[in-house]
Structure 1
Amino acid sequence: MIPASTKRTTLAAILFLAAAMPAYAHVGVGATSSFSAGFAHPLSGLDHMTVMIAVGLWAALRGGKAIWAWPLAFVGVMLVGGALGMLHVPVPFVEPGILASVVALGLLVALAIDLPVSAGIAVIGLFALFHGHAHGTEVPENASGLEYMAGFAAATALLHGVGIAAGLGLGSRFRRLARAAGAACAAVGVGLALGVL
Protein backbone atom coordinates (compact mmCIF):
# COMPACT_ATOMS: atom_id res chain seq x y z
CA MET A 1 0.00 0.00 0.00
CA ILE A 2 1.35 3.41 -0.98
CA PRO A 3 1.33 5.96 1.88
CA ALA A 4 -1.06 8.90 1.41
CA SER A 5 1.78 11.41 1.72
CA THR A 6 3.63 9.75 -1.16
CA LYS A 7 0.48 9.82 -3.29
CA ARG A 8 -0.03 13.54 -2.62
CA THR A 9 3.61 14.42 -3.27
CA THR A 10 3.70 12.46 -6.54
CA LEU A 11 0.45 14.01 -7.70
CA ALA A 12 1.64 17.54 -6.91
CA ALA A 13 4.98 17.02 -8.68
CA ILE A 14 3.36 15.72 -11.85
CA LEU A 15 0.78 18.50 -11.87
CA PHE A 16 3.48 21.15 -11.63
CA LEU A 17 5.49 19.45 -14.36
CA ALA A 18 2.48 19.20 -16.65
CA ALA A 19 1.44 22.79 -15.99
CA ALA A 20 4.83 24.02 -17.14
CA MET A 21 4.49 22.39 -20.58
CA PRO A 22 2.04 23.72 -23.19
CA ALA A 23 -0.12 21.29 -25.18
CA TYR A 24 -1.00 23.62 -28.09
CA ALA A 25 -3.37 20.99 -29.37
CA HIS A 26 -6.67 22.78 -29.68
CA VAL A 27 -7.13 26.33 -30.89
CA GLY A 28 -8.03 26.59 -34.55
CA VAL A 29 -8.10 22.85 -35.24
CA GLY A 30 -10.95 21.34 -37.25
CA ALA A 31 -14.50 22.31 -38.11
CA THR A 32 -16.43 23.67 -35.16
CA SER A 33 -19.81 24.83 -36.36
CA SER A 34 -22.04 21.74 -36.35
CA PHE A 35 -23.41 19.18 -33.90
CA SER A 36 -21.64 16.33 -35.70
CA ALA A 37 -18.29 18.16 -35.61
CA GLY A 38 -18.74 18.80 -31.90
CA PHE A 39 -19.76 15.21 -31.26
CA ALA A 40 -16.80 13.83 -33.23
CA HIS A 41 -14.19 16.08 -31.62
CA PRO A 42 -13.87 14.34 -28.21
CA LEU A 43 -13.75 11.00 -30.02
CA SER A 44 -10.84 12.09 -32.21
CA GLY A 45 -8.29 13.15 -29.61
CA LEU A 46 -6.38 11.04 -27.14
CA ASP A 47 -6.41 13.85 -24.56
CA HIS A 48 -10.19 14.19 -24.72
CA MET A 49 -10.99 10.51 -24.62
CA THR A 50 -8.66 9.74 -21.73
CA VAL A 51 -9.89 12.64 -19.58
CA MET A 52 -13.59 11.99 -20.19
CA ILE A 53 -13.28 8.26 -19.50
CA ALA A 54 -11.08 8.94 -16.46
CA VAL A 55 -13.80 11.17 -14.96
CA GLY A 56 -16.26 8.29 -15.32
CA LEU A 57 -13.83 5.74 -13.89
CA TRP A 58 -13.00 7.97 -10.93
CA ALA A 59 -16.71 8.57 -10.26
CA ALA A 60 -17.35 4.82 -10.35
CA LEU A 61 -14.44 4.13 -8.00
CA ARG A 62 -15.74 6.78 -5.59
CA GLY A 63 -19.36 5.63 -5.88
CA GLY A 64 -22.44 7.23 -4.33
CA LYS A 65 -23.32 10.76 -5.44
CA ALA A 66 -20.03 11.09 -7.33
CA ILE A 67 -21.38 8.76 -10.04
CA TRP A 68 -23.74 11.45 -11.28
CA ALA A 69 -22.33 14.63 -9.69
CA TRP A 70 -18.81 14.49 -11.12
CA PRO A 71 -19.76 13.88 -14.78
CA LEU A 72 -22.56 16.44 -14.52
CA ALA A 73 -20.11 18.98 -13.06
CA PHE A 74 -17.65 18.35 -15.90
CA VAL A 75 -20.25 18.82 -18.64
CA GLY A 76 -21.82 21.88 -16.97
CA VAL A 77 -18.56 23.71 -16.30
CA MET A 78 -17.20 22.72 -19.71
CA LEU A 79 -20.19 24.48 -21.31
CA VAL A 80 -19.51 27.58 -19.19
CA GLY A 81 -15.88 27.50 -20.34
CA GLY A 82 -17.05 27.13 -23.93
CA ALA A 83 -19.27 30.19 -23.60
CA LEU A 84 -16.35 32.16 -22.14
CA GLY A 85 -14.17 31.08 -25.06
CA MET A 86 -16.80 32.09 -27.61
CA LEU A 87 -17.08 35.47 -25.91
CA HIS A 88 -13.26 35.84 -26.01
CA VAL A 89 -13.04 36.11 -22.23
CA PRO A 90 -9.43 35.20 -21.42
CA VAL A 91 -8.73 32.29 -19.09
CA PRO A 92 -5.08 31.80 -18.12
CA PHE A 93 -3.18 28.51 -18.51
CA VAL A 94 -5.77 26.81 -20.74
CA GLU A 95 -3.38 24.57 -22.67
CA PRO A 96 -1.22 23.62 -19.66
CA GLY A 97 -4.45 23.04 -17.72
CA ILE A 98 -5.70 20.62 -20.37
CA LEU A 99 -2.44 18.74 -20.32
CA ALA A 100 -2.42 18.69 -16.52
CA SER A 101 -5.97 17.30 -16.56
CA VAL A 102 -4.87 14.22 -18.49
CA VAL A 103 -2.10 13.46 -16.01
CA ALA A 104 -3.99 14.45 -12.86
CA LEU A 105 -7.24 12.64 -13.59
CA GLY A 106 -5.30 9.56 -14.61
CA LEU A 107 -3.43 9.65 -11.31
CA LEU A 108 -6.61 10.22 -9.32
CA VAL A 109 -7.96 6.99 -10.81
CA ALA A 110 -4.65 5.08 -10.64
CA LEU A 111 -4.14 5.97 -6.98
CA ALA A 112 -7.88 5.62 -6.21
CA ILE A 113 -7.85 8.99 -4.44
CA ASP A 114 -10.99 9.16 -2.31
CA LEU A 115 -11.97 12.84 -2.16
CA PRO A 116 -15.24 14.19 -0.80
CA VAL A 117 -17.77 14.68 -3.59
CA SER A 118 -17.55 18.49 -3.31
CA ALA A 119 -13.74 18.46 -3.59
CA GLY A 120 -13.98 16.18 -6.62
CA ILE A 121 -16.43 18.63 -8.21
CA ALA A 122 -13.93 21.45 -7.67
CA VAL A 123 -11.05 19.50 -9.26
CA ILE A 124 -13.16 18.26 -12.16
CA GLY A 125 -14.75 21.68 -12.66
CA LEU A 126 -11.38 23.41 -12.94
CA PHE A 127 -10.22 21.01 -15.64
CA ALA A 128 -13.59 21.16 -17.41
CA LEU A 129 -13.30 24.96 -17.61
CA PHE A 130 -10.01 24.63 -19.49
CA HIS A 131 -11.39 22.03 -21.90
CA GLY A 132 -14.52 24.05 -22.58
CA HIS A 133 -12.65 27.33 -23.06
CA ALA A 134 -10.27 25.81 -25.59
CA HIS A 135 -13.15 24.56 -27.67
CA GLY A 136 -15.18 27.73 -27.36
CA THR A 137 -12.28 29.72 -28.81
CA GLU A 138 -12.28 27.42 -31.87
CA VAL A 139 -15.78 28.44 -32.94
CA PRO A 140 -15.61 30.68 -36.04
CA GLU A 141 -16.81 34.29 -35.68
CA ASN A 142 -19.64 33.71 -38.17
CA ALA A 143 -21.07 30.65 -36.38
CA SER A 144 -23.13 30.53 -33.21
CA GLY A 145 -21.24 27.52 -31.87
CA LEU A 146 -24.27 26.27 -29.98
CA GLU A 147 -24.67 23.17 -32.13
CA TYR A 148 -20.97 22.39 -31.79
CA MET A 149 -21.06 22.74 -28.01
CA ALA A 150 -24.21 20.59 -27.81
CA GLY A 151 -22.41 17.89 -29.79
CA PHE A 152 -19.31 18.17 -27.64
CA ALA A 153 -21.40 17.94 -24.46
CA ALA A 154 -23.25 14.85 -25.73
CA ALA A 155 -20.01 13.05 -26.66
CA THR A 156 -18.44 14.05 -23.35
CA ALA A 157 -21.40 12.62 -21.42
CA LEU A 158 -21.18 9.45 -23.50
CA LEU A 159 -17.47 9.02 -22.68
CA HIS A 160 -18.18 9.66 -18.99
CA GLY A 161 -20.79 6.92 -19.25
CA VAL A 162 -18.24 4.55 -20.77
CA GLY A 163 -15.92 5.19 -17.83
CA ILE A 164 -18.70 4.71 -15.28
CA ALA A 165 -19.92 1.51 -16.95
CA ALA A 166 -16.38 0.14 -17.10
CA GLY A 167 -15.70 1.06 -13.49
CA LEU A 168 -18.94 -0.41 -12.20
CA GLY A 169 -18.67 -3.41 -14.51
CA LEU A 170 -15.18 -4.20 -13.24
CA GLY A 171 -16.44 -4.06 -9.66
CA SER A 172 -14.29 -4.24 -6.56
CA ARG A 173 -12.90 -7.63 -7.55
CA PHE A 174 -11.32 -6.08 -10.65
CA ARG A 175 -10.58 -2.66 -9.13
CA ARG A 176 -6.92 -3.02 -10.15
CA LEU A 177 -7.92 -2.96 -13.82
CA ALA A 178 -9.71 0.37 -13.39
CA ARG A 179 -6.65 1.73 -11.59
CA ALA A 180 -4.40 0.43 -14.39
CA ALA A 181 -6.58 2.34 -16.88
CA GLY A 182 -5.98 5.47 -14.78
CA ALA A 183 -2.24 4.86 -14.90
CA ALA A 184 -2.48 4.53 -18.69
CA CYS A 185 -4.31 7.89 -18.81
CA ALA A 186 -1.55 9.53 -16.78
CA ALA A 187 1.05 7.96 -19.08
CA VAL A 188 -0.77 9.44 -22.09
CA GLY A 189 -0.58 12.85 -20.43
CA VAL A 190 3.15 12.49 -19.86
CA GLY A 191 3.56 11.35 -23.48
CA LEU A 192 1.66 14.40 -24.70
CA ALA A 193 3.77 16.66 -22.47
CA LEU A 194 6.97 15.18 -23.87
CA GLY A 195 5.66 15.36 -27.43
CA VAL A 196 5.94 11.63 -28.08
CA LEU A 197 2.17 11.13 -28.60
Structure 2
Amino acid sequence: MEILPHDLQEYLDGHCDPEPECLQTINRETYLKVLRPHMLSGHYQGRVLSFLSKMMQPRRILEIGTFTGYATICLAEGLTDDGIIHTIEVNRELEEMLNSHFKLTSVEKKIKLHFGEALNIVPDLEEDNFDVVFIDADKKNNFNYFQLVLNKVRSGGLIIIDNVLWKGKVYGPENDVDTKLIRELNDQISVNKSVEKLILPIRDGLLVIRKK
Protein backbone atom coordinates (compact mmCIF):
# COMPACT_ATOMS: atom_id res chain seq x y z
CA MET A 1 0.00 0.00 0.00
CA GLU A 2 1.35 3.42 -0.99
CA ILE A 3 0.02 6.55 0.68
CA LEU A 4 1.06 8.90 -2.12
CA PRO A 5 -0.96 9.23 -5.36
CA HIS A 6 0.15 6.78 -8.04
CA ASP A 7 1.30 9.49 -10.47
CA LEU A 8 3.42 11.16 -7.79
CA GLN A 9 4.93 7.83 -6.78
CA GLU A 10 5.83 7.08 -10.38
CA TYR A 11 7.49 10.50 -10.66
CA LEU A 12 9.51 9.86 -7.50
CA ASP A 13 10.53 6.42 -8.76
CA GLY A 14 11.71 7.98 -12.00
CA HIS A 15 13.81 10.63 -10.29
CA CYS A 16 15.84 8.59 -7.85
CA ASP A 17 18.68 6.17 -8.56
CA PRO A 18 17.59 3.16 -10.61
CA GLU A 19 16.72 -0.12 -8.95
CA PRO A 20 19.79 -2.41 -9.05
CA GLU A 21 19.39 -5.45 -11.29
CA CYS A 22 19.59 -7.94 -8.41
CA LEU A 23 16.76 -6.13 -6.64
CA GLN A 24 14.67 -6.10 -9.81
CA THR A 25 15.03 -9.90 -9.84
CA ILE A 26 14.06 -10.19 -6.17
CA ASN A 27 11.07 -7.93 -6.76
CA ARG A 28 9.84 -10.11 -9.64
CA GLU A 29 10.41 -13.38 -7.77
CA THR A 30 8.62 -12.11 -4.70
CA TYR A 31 5.52 -11.20 -6.69
CA LEU A 32 5.60 -14.52 -8.52
CA LYS A 33 6.28 -16.89 -5.64
CA VAL A 34 5.37 -15.40 -2.25
CA LEU A 35 2.08 -14.66 -0.53
CA ARG A 36 1.49 -10.99 0.34
CA PRO A 37 4.23 -9.68 -1.99
CA HIS A 38 3.15 -6.10 -1.19
CA MET A 39 5.18 -6.49 2.02
CA LEU A 40 8.29 -5.93 -0.12
CA SER A 41 9.92 -2.53 0.43
CA GLY A 42 10.16 -1.83 -3.30
CA HIS A 43 12.20 0.54 -5.42
CA TYR A 44 11.68 3.98 -3.85
CA GLN A 45 11.60 2.91 -0.22
CA GLY A 46 14.58 0.67 -0.89
CA ARG A 47 16.57 3.62 -2.22
CA VAL A 48 15.57 5.63 0.87
CA LEU A 49 16.84 2.87 3.16
CA SER A 50 20.05 2.58 1.15
CA PHE A 51 20.52 6.37 1.26
CA LEU A 52 20.04 6.52 5.04
CA SER A 53 22.42 3.62 5.53
CA LYS A 54 25.08 5.20 3.36
CA MET A 55 24.75 8.46 5.32
CA MET A 56 25.21 6.58 8.60
CA GLN A 57 28.07 4.36 7.30
CA PRO A 58 27.06 1.73 9.84
CA ARG A 59 29.28 -1.04 11.12
CA ARG A 60 26.39 -2.94 12.67
CA ILE A 61 22.76 -3.07 11.50
CA LEU A 62 19.86 -5.04 12.97
CA GLU A 63 16.80 -5.87 10.88
CA ILE A 64 13.67 -7.42 12.41
CA GLY A 65 11.65 -8.98 9.59
CA THR A 66 13.67 -10.15 6.57
CA PHE A 67 10.83 -11.31 4.29
CA THR A 68 12.52 -11.94 0.90
CA GLY A 69 15.61 -9.87 1.66
CA TYR A 70 14.97 -6.76 -0.44
CA ALA A 71 15.35 -4.22 2.39
CA THR A 72 18.19 -6.27 3.88
CA ILE A 73 20.25 -5.77 0.74
CA CYS A 74 19.38 -2.07 0.52
CA LEU A 75 20.51 -1.49 4.10
CA ALA A 76 23.66 -3.57 3.60
CA GLU A 77 24.74 -1.28 0.74
CA GLY A 78 25.84 1.31 3.31
CA LEU A 79 27.84 -0.98 5.59
CA THR A 80 31.51 -0.36 6.24
CA ASP A 81 34.01 -2.85 4.81
CA ASP A 82 33.92 -4.85 8.05
CA GLY A 83 30.20 -4.25 8.60
CA ILE A 84 27.53 -6.86 9.37
CA ILE A 85 23.75 -6.80 9.19
CA HIS A 86 21.95 -9.19 11.52
CA THR A 87 18.52 -9.93 10.06
CA ILE A 88 15.81 -11.96 11.79
CA GLU A 89 13.02 -13.83 10.01
CA VAL A 90 10.35 -15.92 11.70
CA ASN A 91 9.40 -17.94 8.59
CA ARG A 92 11.94 -20.71 8.03
CA GLU A 93 10.29 -21.64 4.73
CA LEU A 94 11.91 -18.56 3.19
CA GLU A 95 15.45 -19.78 3.90
CA GLU A 96 16.20 -21.25 0.46
CA MET A 97 14.84 -18.19 -1.33
CA LEU A 98 16.73 -15.80 0.92
CA ASN A 99 20.03 -17.58 0.41
CA SER A 100 19.54 -17.51 -3.36
CA HIS A 101 18.66 -13.81 -3.25
CA PHE A 102 21.69 -12.88 -1.16
CA LYS A 103 23.97 -14.75 -3.58
CA LEU A 104 22.90 -12.32 -6.31
CA THR A 105 24.56 -9.43 -4.48
CA SER A 106 27.99 -8.14 -3.53
CA VAL A 107 26.98 -7.94 0.15
CA GLU A 108 26.21 -11.63 0.76
CA LYS A 109 29.10 -12.10 3.19
CA LYS A 110 27.94 -9.13 5.27
CA ILE A 111 24.53 -10.66 5.99
CA LYS A 112 23.97 -12.85 9.05
CA LEU A 113 20.55 -14.50 8.87
CA HIS A 114 18.72 -15.67 12.01
CA PHE A 115 15.47 -17.63 12.12
CA GLY A 116 13.01 -17.49 15.00
CA GLU A 117 11.17 -15.04 17.20
CA ALA A 118 12.95 -11.69 17.39
CA LEU A 119 11.88 -11.20 21.01
CA ASN A 120 13.93 -14.29 21.86
CA ILE A 121 16.85 -13.73 19.48
CA VAL A 122 17.67 -10.05 20.05
CA PRO A 123 18.52 -10.38 23.78
CA ASP A 124 21.02 -13.15 22.94
CA LEU A 125 22.86 -11.24 20.23
CA GLU A 126 26.39 -10.39 21.28
CA GLU A 127 26.09 -7.04 19.51
CA ASP A 128 24.95 -4.15 21.71
CA ASN A 129 26.04 -1.09 19.77
CA PHE A 130 23.95 -0.99 16.59
CA ASP A 131 24.16 2.01 14.27
CA VAL A 132 20.85 1.30 12.49
CA VAL A 133 17.83 -0.86 13.34
CA PHE A 134 15.01 -1.51 10.86
CA ILE A 135 11.75 -2.93 12.22
CA ASP A 136 9.35 -4.43 9.68
CA ALA A 137 7.76 -7.49 11.29
CA ASP A 138 4.52 -8.36 13.11
CA LYS A 139 2.92 -5.04 13.93
CA LYS A 140 1.49 -6.06 17.29
CA ASN A 141 5.04 -6.23 18.68
CA ASN A 142 6.39 -3.00 17.18
CA PHE A 143 6.57 -1.18 20.51
CA ASN A 144 8.05 -4.26 22.20
CA TYR A 145 10.74 -4.34 19.52
CA PHE A 146 11.40 -0.62 19.96
CA GLN A 147 11.85 -1.03 23.72
CA LEU A 148 13.99 -4.13 23.19
CA VAL A 149 16.46 -2.46 20.81
CA LEU A 150 16.63 1.06 22.26
CA ASN A 151 19.44 0.20 24.68
CA LYS A 152 21.28 -1.68 21.93
CA VAL A 153 21.50 1.38 19.67
CA ARG A 154 24.37 3.81 20.04
CA SER A 155 23.81 7.49 20.72
CA GLY A 156 23.13 9.09 17.33
CA GLY A 157 21.97 5.78 15.88
CA LEU A 158 18.74 5.27 13.96
CA ILE A 159 15.70 3.08 14.54
CA ILE A 160 13.39 2.91 11.50
CA ILE A 161 9.90 1.41 11.79
CA ASP A 162 7.84 0.58 8.70
CA ASN A 163 4.07 0.78 8.07
CA VAL A 164 3.32 3.46 10.68
CA LEU A 165 0.67 5.17 8.53
CA TRP A 166 -1.10 1.82 8.17
CA LYS A 167 -2.82 2.39 4.81
CA GLY A 168 -3.93 5.83 6.05
CA LYS A 169 -6.03 4.32 8.84
CA VAL A 170 -4.08 5.95 11.69
CA TYR A 171 -5.38 9.40 10.78
CA GLY A 172 -8.88 8.19 9.89
CA PRO A 173 -11.89 7.00 11.90
CA GLU A 174 -10.94 3.29 11.93
CA ASN A 175 -10.63 1.62 15.33
CA ASP A 176 -9.74 -1.99 14.56
CA VAL A 177 -7.15 -3.64 16.79
CA ASP A 178 -4.18 -3.29 14.41
CA THR A 179 -4.89 0.38 13.72
CA LYS A 180 -5.13 1.12 17.44
CA LEU A 181 -1.78 -0.58 18.02
CA ILE A 182 -0.05 1.48 15.32
CA ARG A 183 -1.60 4.69 16.71
CA GLU A 184 -0.40 3.80 20.20
CA LEU A 185 3.10 3.11 18.88
CA ASN A 186 3.26 6.48 17.14
CA ASP A 187 1.82 8.29 20.17
CA GLN A 188 4.19 6.64 22.65
CA ILE A 189 7.27 7.37 20.60
CA SER A 190 6.16 10.95 19.87
CA VAL A 191 6.44 11.80 23.60
CA ASN A 192 9.65 9.85 24.26
CA LYS A 193 12.26 12.43 25.29
CA SER A 194 15.23 10.13 24.74
CA VAL A 195 14.82 10.22 20.95
CA GLU A 196 14.19 12.57 18.04
CA LYS A 197 11.58 11.34 15.58
CA LEU A 198 9.62 12.07 12.44
CA ILE A 199 7.30 10.16 10.13
CA LEU A 200 8.16 10.14 6.44
CA PRO A 201 5.12 9.62 4.15
CA ILE A 202 6.98 7.05 2.09
CA ARG A 203 4.99 4.05 0.87
CA ASP A 204 3.06 3.01 4.03
CA GLY A 205 4.93 5.39 6.35
CA LEU A 206 8.46 5.21 7.79
CA LEU A 207 9.00 6.35 11.38
CA VAL A 208 12.62 7.48 11.63
CA ILE A 209 13.94 7.71 15.18
CA ARG A 210 17.32 9.10 16.25
CA LYS A 211 18.61 8.17 19.67
CA LYS A 212 19.96 11.18 21.55
- The bucket for the TM-score relative to the shorter chain is under 0.3
Name the structure with the higher helix share: 1
TM-score normalised to structure 1 length: 0.24
Name the structure with the higher strand share: 2
